[in-house]
Amino acid sequence: MTANPTEPRPFRFYDNRQKYLTFVTTCDEKWQVAERARRELDGLRPQPPAFRLFDAGIGDGTVLANLLRAMHQRFPTIPFFVAGKEISLEDIRLTLDKLPDRLVEHPQTVIALTNLHYNEAPVLWPNTTEKQESLVFRHIELTGTGSHEFGDQLRNLHDFLTENWQVRPSEKTGNPLYVTPTVLVIHRTDQRFALDAVIPRPGEPRAEYDLVIASQPWRSRVEAEFKVKRILAPLSGSLRSHGVLLGIQSMGHDPGLEIIHEIWPDEDPFPVDRHELISALRAELGDEVRDYDLMALPDAQSQLRYSMHTLPTEIGNIIGTSTLFAAWNAAIYVAQIEDERVEKVAISGDYLDATTAVLQRHGGLWFNDETFVVRRH
Ligand SMILES: C[S@@+](CC[C@H](N)C(=O)[O-])C[C@H]1O[C@@H](n2cnc3c(N)ncnc32)[C@H](O)[C@@H]1O
């Protein structure tokens, strides 16, 4: 079956590249998320040979890089095994850019990046024999001791990534799917002996994560059952005893959603709240639910507010165009409005007037996320 080009194109994460990068650099959400994840570190009980972290959608690597700093502060002498799933080649490149300093400050770190699906990625092993046979499992040992030389060697992976991180759109959803199942393992060569028990090997699946971060891992309008079956249930199963999964999603009730409502008054971008997700996860786990604490958390503990960076004098009678563009971009990005709809309203200037009105009303722009926790007994 081939996709019918006359049918409306489904919303795809990929169309959102520039919006994502602008959002990440103009708002402090990714830092706030890492900070929230840091607070989970105190309750964890890593076991030898390593602290194990899984990032269920690395994005541009900002959350991961900040969290690795916090992990070093909390567990300075414990080896780290860090696995991350990311389908976007460009995001893998941006993430690799952030790793050299981490490998200098915390030499005993093994990083595994993969494009595998949610139910495969935590164990770094595809779920059919055919895909296992075509798995590209590349092991990179970085020579030297400095961040500049590590950076050079990671940049040399350009051709390997271009070849093995290709995607094709799913005929059903339009979401990108991997063409070649790929795992890329990176560590320092001078630590190979000490890290021997930490380095993953093909065909030796192991999950047992101390911490799993699921930050904005889905299309907000997709129903709870899908999110749970595809993402939350497999991720919960990949926790070790005392391990924690931290989920983060947008929740609205903020000036960002007010901008959206100025243009599309009936829009409901966040129909599935954390309580519904947790109930659906409870149903999906069945008897196994007794192995877990599923915590929707009280509002005050769950919610996390983040803001668009603005200078103190920026929001006045006249607001600069770049600030307005950044604010509008953040609002439509967070609300996951499809490009076709954005294009229609961009023809008139109404969206800039709407954005100005909301920024002036609140003296700035902020958004609310909600978080929830799954802990394995
Ligand atoms: C790869 S995932 C998230 C990557 C990474 N975990 C992070 O938090 O940056 C990227 C997708 O998540 C969604 N997304 C990211 N941040 C979001 C936010 N603050 N609100 C709503 N959706 C978001 C977008 O649809 C985007 O295409």
Name, in order, each residue with C-beta under 8 angstroms of 372's C-beta and a sequence gap of 6 or more: 246, 247, 274, 277, 278, 294, 295, 296, 297, 302
Contacts of 340 (CB under 8 A, 6+ apart): 8, 9
Residues with CB under 6 A from ligand 1: 13, 16, 20, 29-30, 57, 59, 63, 215-216, 250, 334, 336
Residue 6 reports pLDDT greater than 80: no
DSSP-derived pairing of the beta strands 292-295 and 182-188? unpaired
How far are the Cα atoms of 7, 165, 178, 278 from residue 172, in angstroms, in the given order? 12, 21, 15, 26
What is the model's pLDDT at position 14? 46
- pLDDT for 189 equals 98
Q: Residue 71's Cα: distance from chain center in Å?
A: 17
- How much is the average pLDDT of 175-197? 97
The residues pairing with 54 across neighbouring beta strands, listed in sequence order, are 83, 212
Cβ atoms of 233 and 119 within 8 Å: the answer is: no
* Residue range 162-171: mean pLDDT, rounded: 95
Provide CB contacts within 8 A for 52, sequence distance 6+.
46, 81, 82, 83, 208, 209, 210, 211, 240
Residue nearest to atom 18 of ligand 1 (CA): 334
- The pLDDT of residue 52: 98
Name the band, by pLDDT with cuts 50, 70 and 90, for residue 15. low
Nearest CA, atom 9, ligand 1: 59
Checking DSSP bridges between strand 80-85 and strand 109-114, what pairing results, if any?
parallel
Rg (CA), the chain: 21
Provide the H-helix boundaries in the chain: 17-26, 29-38, 62-74, 89-97, 100-105, 129-134, 147-155, 158-164, 224-227, 233-237, 255-263, 274-285, 299-302, 321-334, 339-346, 350-362
Question: Per the omega criterion (within 30 degrees of 0), is the bond before 5 cis?
Answer: no
Best residue among 11, 12, 18, 20 to mutate for probing ligand 1's pocket (most ligand atoms within 8 Å of CB) is 20
pLDDT band at 318 (very low <50, low <70, confident <90, very high): confident
Rounded Cα–Cα distance for residues 197 and 79 (Å): 10
- Please compute the mean of the pLDDT values over residues 332-349 and round it to a whole number: 94
DSSP helix/strand/coil, 138 = strand
Question: Could you identify the atom of ligand 1 that is nearest to the CA of residue 60?
Answer: 9
Minimal-distance CA residue to ligand 1 atom 7: 59
Which residue's CA lies nearest to atom 5 of ligand 1?
A: 59
Mean of the pLDDT values across residues 117-139? 97
The CA-atom distances, in angstroms, between 285 and each of 104, 161, 249, 374 are 41, 36, 21, 12
Atom 16 of ligand 1: nearest residue by CA position: 216
Distance between Cα 359 and ligand 1 center (Å)? 23
Spell out the alpha helix ranges (H) of 122-231. 129-134, 147-155, 158-164, 224-227
Q: ∠ CA(317), CA(333), CA(179), 5° rounding?
A: 155
Q: Provide the pLDDT confidence category of residue 8 given band limits of 50, 70 and 90.
A: very low
Query: Atom 13 in ligand 1: which residue has the minimum CA distance?
Result: 216
Span 146-163, mean pLDDT? Answer: 98
At residue 315 the predicted structure's pLDDT band, cuts being 50, 70 and 90, is confident
Residue 4 has a pLDDT of 43
Residue closest to 27 by CA, chosen among 212, 273, 216, 219: 216
Q: Which atom of ligand 1 is nearest to the CA of 55?
A: 6
For 221-273, where are the alpha helices, taking DSSP H only?
224-227, 233-237, 255-263
Judge whether 364 and 301 are in contact, CB under 8 Å. no
Mean per-residue pLDDT, 97-111:
98
Question: How many Å lie between the centroid of ligand 1 and the Cα of residue 217?
Answer: 6
**Rounded-to-integer distance, Cα 156 and Cα 184, Å:** 13
> What single-letter DSSP state applies at residue 175?
-
Ligand 1: centre distance to CA 20 (Å): 7
Whether 213 shows a pLDDT value over 50: the answer reads: yes
Averaged pLDDT of the chain = 94
pLDDT score, position 317: 82
Tokens found for residue 143? 């020579």
The CA 23 to ligand 1 mean position distance, Å, reads 10
What is the average pLDDT across 89-98? 97
Please say if the pLDDT value at position 288 is more than 70. yes
Lowest mean pLDDT segment, chosen from 94-98, 172-176, 269-273: 172-176
Q: Once rounded to an integer, what is the mean pLDDT over residues 295-324?
A: 93
Rounded mean pLDDT, 51-71? 98
Question: Facing residues of 304 across strands?
Answer: 369
How many angstroms separate the alpha carbon of residue 231 from the centre of ligand 1? 14
